[in-house]
Amino acid sequence: MSRRSSGAVVVGLDPSADSRAALVWAADEAERRGATLRIGHSWNLEAYRLPRADLAEIAEPARNAAWTLLEQAADQARQRHPGLPVEPELIEEPPVEGLLRMAATDADVVVTGRRGLHGFRTFLLGSVSRGVVAHAPVPAVVVSHGGTPRTHGPVVLGVAPESDTPVDFAFGQAEMRGVPLVAVRAWTRPQPATGHRFLLPRDAEQRTKEEAADLDRLLAPARAAHPGVAVITRVVAAVPEQAIVESAQDACLVVVGAHRRLTRFGLPIGRVPQRVMHAAPCPVAVVPQPRR
């Protein structure tokens, strides 16, 4: 594969198992793209709130330890893919700010572990992955070390109405990997105030046909641009995140879009991508869509 003169895959590093899995995924992605792998590790003693005298005493050993962690990770990536350009970087600012800065230049994708070193099992995502996904200017991929890594399964794409932003990214991933793409569209039945669901079979069939036609319309430009990608479409009456996760049981990657929300409370990327990232058995790529 010929190397590109620009473009990078940025990955955040800490000693956690999820972060190590993210490093492997990012190195493979950089190799597929012919891109540079940039590994960022944040070190900052201010969070410990120690007296300044103590900070000064431990600053140099802490920085050296952080750099050792980075160098070991870079060596691991080089051994996995000889010839891969690898650039380790110590992040002086908080991790989310540092990774966003690294991703804001020429990055194609930014990668994090699902949970960091201090993640709590009760949380859907670690604070770093949550912050990166909510604000990254490029697709953000969240990786967990759990389960068996899949390399030959399909790429699963969740396609919402009038939402074609993640389509090109998903087709590109399927083409690079030489795997099929499964495009999922889910629609929900009406929910009357009584709580009972009622929809005539012929109405449900018509709704499914309409959703399938809209899905085909959104996929058409990418299908023409990537004629070698085999495409399977699934249109179901179900909760969207449930349909996507169920379709991803043998997938190598799930791709969803996210409308960012400038809100003080709630989920800044919406319910569907948040729940898919929590429940999917494989890495999840969240592609940012223009703010409304």
The pLDDT value recorded for residue 223 is 97
225 to 108, 205, 228: CA distances (angstroms): 19, 31, 9
- Does pLDDT of 193 surpass 70? no
Per-residue pLDDT band at 120 (split at 50, 70, 90)? very low
Q: How far apart are CA 185 and CA 151, in angstroms?
A: 24
Instruction: Read off the pLDDT band of 282 (50, 70, 90).
Output: very high
Q: Give just the sign of the alpha carbon dihedral 189, 194, 200, 201.
A: positive
Residue 65: what pLDDT?
85
Q: What's the pLDDT at 290?
A: 64
The predicted model gives 263-272 an average pLDDT of 64
- For 78-97, the pLDDT digits (tens) are 999 999 999 999 998 889 99
Residue 189 pLDDT:
67
% the chain with pLDDT above 90: 60
Over residues 134-163, the pLDDT tens digits come to 999 999 999 988 755 677 899 999 998 877
- 73 pLDDT band, cuts 50/70/90, is very high
pLDDT digits (tens, 9 = 90+) for 15-66: 889 999 999 999 999 999 999 999 999 876 555 454 555 555 666 777 888 8
Calpha distance 139→269 (Å, rounded): 13
pTM tops 0.75, yes or no: yes
Write the DSSP symbol of residue 145: S
pLDDT score at 2: 44
Per-residue confidence (pLDDT) for residue 99, from 0 to 100: 95
- Per-residue pLDDT band for 195 (boundaries 50, 70, 90) equals low
pLDDT of residue 190: 61
Instruction: For residue 214, name the pLDDT band (cuts at 50, 70, 90).
Output: very high
Question: How far from 128 is each of 15, 98, 117, 193, 256, CA to CA, in Å?
Answer: 14, 10, 10, 39, 19
- Amino acid at site 139: P
Whether 235 contacts 208, CB under 8 Å: yes
Handedness of CA 99, 102, 104, 107 (dihedral sign): negative
* Whether residue 266 has pLDDT greater than 50: no
- What pLDDT score was predicted for residue 3? 47
Query: For the segment 196-211, what is each residue's pLDDT rounded down to a tens digit?
Result: 555 566 778 899 999 9
